[in-house]
Structure 1
Amino acid sequence: MTRVTPATLNSGVMAGLQSSLSRLQQTQEQLSSGRRLSRPSDSPVDTVAAMQLRAERKQADQLSRNIDDGMAWLNTSDQALSQTSTVLNRVRTLVLAGANSTNGPEERRAMAAEVDQLREAVLGIANTQYLGRPVFAGTQDTAVAFDPTTGAYAGNTQTVKRTVSPDAASGTLAVSVTGDQAFTTLLADPAAPSGQGLLARISSALRSGDLSALGTSLTQLDRASEAVRSTQTTVGARTNRLLATQAGGEVRADAVAAKLASVEGIDLAKTITDLTLQQTAYQAALGAAAKVVQPSLMDFLR
């Protein structure tokens, strides 16, 4: 037969009150923070799941930043190519006018002067930059994509790439186009005897009144304009792919956020109910302890 002493009774009652108070405190912490997990010991299994989900969310955030950067590269290139197409349309109009025999030398010289200005405009567009880097220079570390004096291409044939998806096979996408692909022979042409680009040759043909050269230049100009449009189509296709990838990434990010909330978060209604029950139980335990544990003369003498 076990002998129960007042000290044993007091110890048991205090242990029960302490346990009840600890549960009450934990529930209050969960309610105030909105999280079920505040330390790994709360649930080791859920803690591991939460760490994995947080790592996945961090990766999704980085991919989102990569997509935004890629979109900026492509949008900058698209705007530049659109401007180039507009300029080339004007050059074509001048070539047709210069090939018309009704225009004399003075008119052609004025047209040549305008073509010179349009060439400078195309050169400036071809050296368009994003965050201090020329968008048409490929991966080459250079200040300009095309030499301001000769118009020679100073970049390389490599494209800037960004990782936009966790898929190892297809997660990397080129977000730039190279200048030699977009501007072909407009600014410089190594195959030409003088190395001059098409726009410079058109200007020379207008000044000299060489109608045969203007006819040839018109055909070449149409091919160069088609190259610009084709490059712009490539940019548009990559932009569409980025937009689709961005939409898919947002869906995945929302799913990860929902999973993380279910692992770490609390059920608000249930937590409030638990807190109310625990407060009631603790008050009842205090009342019962006050009746069971009566102070003795020795308690007062201590």
Structure 2
Amino acid sequence: MRVTHQGMINNTVSHLSSNMEQISRLQSKIASGKKNLSPSEDPVNTSQSLTMRSTLNNLQAYRSTTELSREWMEASDYSLEQLQTIGVRAIGLITRGLSDTMGSDERQHALAAEIDGMIAQVVQIGNTTHKGDYIFAGFQIHTQPFVMSDPNTLVYQGDNGLMQRAIAPGQSVVINLSAEAVFRPLIESLVAARNALQNTNFDRNALQTAFDQLQSALDTVDAQRTGLGARMRQVKAASDGIDKTEIELNSLLSKREDLNMAEAITLLRGQETTYQAVLEVSRRAISALSLFDYLR
């Protein structure tokens, strides 16, 4: 069969075009760093990658929740630690007040005044905020929870709502605590102690009762802090689990989606070499055919 000049050219152009398309695709993949330029190249792999990315997005939502929960609970824990410090100091003051060597003037002024300051401190701690929200108000996060309506009366304006947050699939945690049950006994025992110390007719029994109430109130604070600490460890474990899962999923995604650069560059160089070879062979073949037509 006779090979025409035009047929040779068309065949050459077809081969060069196919080779250039391969070079262009490899260059695009290298530029993007991805194995596939479109889902149609590997639909199964693309579907599995989309599922993984959806899981990663969900994990990001859980991560945000765990971080907010951790911050809230840390603020609560610090507040409870402050209450414990104040309570221990108050125990020491009341113990001094119960001593027979303590003068009535020191009881009425020095000790009572210091405990009165502690009451104000505890109320202030009860009104602690985190990012503008009251952490001891239950669901009423925009309402100041504790107010002393008079020197002897504590008013709680929050509620007993417990806020649960999802920190992992199928796992939730309560981030706040029943604040009134923690703060009211403590403040009322301090008020009773202050009043007993201020009384000109010193009533040892009243001060002893306040002492016992204060110890009971501190036991409640300790118990709440212990429970809070357990929940904080739960949040930490969930956060660590999210970190581990994210690392594993990102590794799998990289294997599925990311291009092996060394391999791709080697293939590109091979295609470029092939292109140059085809171009040179075709040029010589077309030149020879042209010379043959001329000699005829």
TM-score by length of 2: 0.89
Contact 1:181 1:231 in 2 (8 A): no
Letter in 2 for 1:259: L
For 1:153, the equivalent position in structure 2 comes to 156
How many Å separate the matches in 1 of 2:8 and 2:221?
A: 91
C-alpha distance in 2 between matches for 1:5 and 1:224 = 105
Is 2:80–2:221's contact at 8 Å kept on the other side of the alignment?
A: yes
Once superposed, what is the RMSD of the aligned Cα atoms? 2.0
2:191 pairs with 1:200: yes
Question: Which residue does the alignment assign to 1:121?
Answer: 121
Counterpart Cα distance in 2 of 1:218 and 1:13: 102
1:42 counterpart residue number: 41
Taking the aligned partners of 1:220 and 1:177, their CA distance within structure 2 comes to: 21
- CA drift of 1:290 comes to 1.5
1:105 matched to 2:108? The reply is: no
Q: Percent identity?
A: 28
- Is the Cα–Cα contact under 8 Å of residues 154 and 184 in structure 2 kept in the other structure? no
> Within 1, Cα distance between the matches of 2:266 and 2:191?
82
Tell me how far 1:296 sits from its aligned partner.
6.5
Q: Secondary structure of the residue that 1:151 maps to in structure 2? A: strand
Structure 1 pair 293–52 and aligned structure 2 pair: CA distance change class (3 A): farther
Which secondary structure state, in structure 1, belongs to the residue aligned with residue 165 of structure 2?
strand
- Residue 78 of structure 1 contacts residue 235 of structure 1 at CA under 8 Å; is this kept in 2? yes
Contact 1:109 1:206 survives alignment (8 Å): yes
Checking the alignment, whether the CA contact within 8 Å between 2:5 and 2:290 is kept in structure 1 is no
Q: Is the 8 A contact 2:143 2:158 kept in 1?
A: no
Q: CA–CA distance in 1 between the matches of 2:108 and 2:37?
A: 79
**Deviation digits for residues 195-238 of structure 1, max 9, x if unmatched?**
xx222121111111211111111111111000001111111111
For 1:227-266, what aligned pairs fall within 5 Å after superposition? 227-266=220-259
Q: CA deviation at 1:247?
A: 1.2
User: Which residue number in structure 1 is paired with residue 219 of structure 2?
Assistant: 226
Cross-structure match for 1:139: 139
Bigger strand fraction: 2
| Aligned position for 2:23 | 24
TM-score, normalising length: structure 1: 0.88
Which moved further from structure 2: 271-280 or 116-125?
Answer: 271-280
